[in-house]
Amino acid sequence: MPNQSGIKLSKDQKNILKKFMQKVKDKREYRAALGILLRSEGKTALFVSQKLGTTIKQVFMWCRKFKENGVLGLQVKKQSGRPAKEGNKAKELIPKLLKEDPEAFGFLKGKWVLRDISKQLKKEKINLNYTGVRRVMSDLGITQKKPILRAQGSIKKNYQKRAEIKRYKKIAAALLKKKLL
């Protein structure tokens, strides 16, 4: 079968790629090396992209980078930009904060809410809004439950409140789109 990819690897290059795959900690680098190995075996770019869950364009970029720079071309570069100073400080403080009761900090709710966490962080001199708090919490692997809208007391007896909640649920999505909430 002819080599359709144009990548011909010697045994040494294949061994280098396999060693690289064993040492790599980033899944993107591993996927790129595996894609190069599959292309060197004569697999099509379409097959490789479907197998690895990427686009065909990405497979061709891996091939080009490998041809130009070898294994070094497959390494993911460190992201540029300003480092997240506030987020790193918040990553240390948020887990400690969530272990405490929000009422101990003067909040009336029995559970932590993103905005309350943000307010408490601002008291601690960490300026992070609620969307930043959500991002930090997702980085830490902490998820929040979405509150269920329920009328207080017996649900069967509280028809008026139930009707209000039902109406609110119908228009809430439209209000969020208009940024009125």
- Residues listed for the chain: 181
Query: What's the pLDDT at 49?
Result: 93
CA–CA–CA angle 179, 113, 147 (5° rounding): 80
In Å, how far from its chain's centre is CA 133? 14
How large is the average pLDDT for residues 98-121?
86
Quote the pTM value. Answer: 0.47
Q: Residue 109 in 3-state DSSP?
A: coil
Query: What's the pLDDT at 1?
Result: 46
Distance CA 4, CA 11 (A): 18
The helix (run of H) or strand (run of E) holding residue 94 is helix 85-99
Residue 61 has pLDDT above 90, yes or no: yes
Which amino acid, 82?
R
How large is the average pLDDT for residues 152-171?
68
How large is the average pLDDT for residues 55-80?
89
